[in-house]
Amino acid sequence: MKVIGIGIDVVEVDRIKSSIEGFSERFLNRVFTKSEREYCQKQKMPELHLAARFAAKEAIAKAFGTGIGKEVGWLDMEILRKESGEPEVQLRGDAREYAEQRGVDQIMVSLTHAKQYAAANAVILGA
């Protein structure tokens, strides 16, 4: 297995919080899946967890070398949580098709957050 790409992103938590306050459901529905929103809303500070997922999606798009757009859209990537606590990436739609074309076998992400920042890195592995 070889590394197809790596990506990293850092997000100011206040930027995500102000987007939620300013655009509410429109922003949340455009960027996060239903499962992501449900998980994050159950947390003490939802904006921290949403910011980490935002950063993860940006990191994945950077690892693909595409950015967020035609090949890899916001809702085509879902950052879930395994029972063990580690994050898990699910792709659908255009992103899944693009990943298959590129020979992607696995996408690994790591998330972190503090009071003011959230960050994530992504590693894409394939044949």
CA distance 122 to 7: 5
Neighbours of 86 (CB within 10 A): 12
123 by Cβ neighbours in 10 Å (0-12 / 13-18 / 19+) ranks as: middle
Residue 19 tokens, joined = 């987007």
Residues in Cβ contact with 78 at an 8 Å cutoff, skipping those fewer than 6 apart: 33, 35, 36, 89, 90, 91, 92
Catalytic residue among 42, 49, 113, 115: 113
* Ramachandran region, residue 113 (left: φ > 0; alpha: ψ -120 to 50; beta: rest): beta
**Is 49 considered catalytic here?**
no
CA gap 65, 71 in Å, rounded:
10
Decide if 113 is catalytic: yes
Catalytic residue among 2, 34, 49, 62: 62
Q: Which residues are catalytic?
A: 62, 113
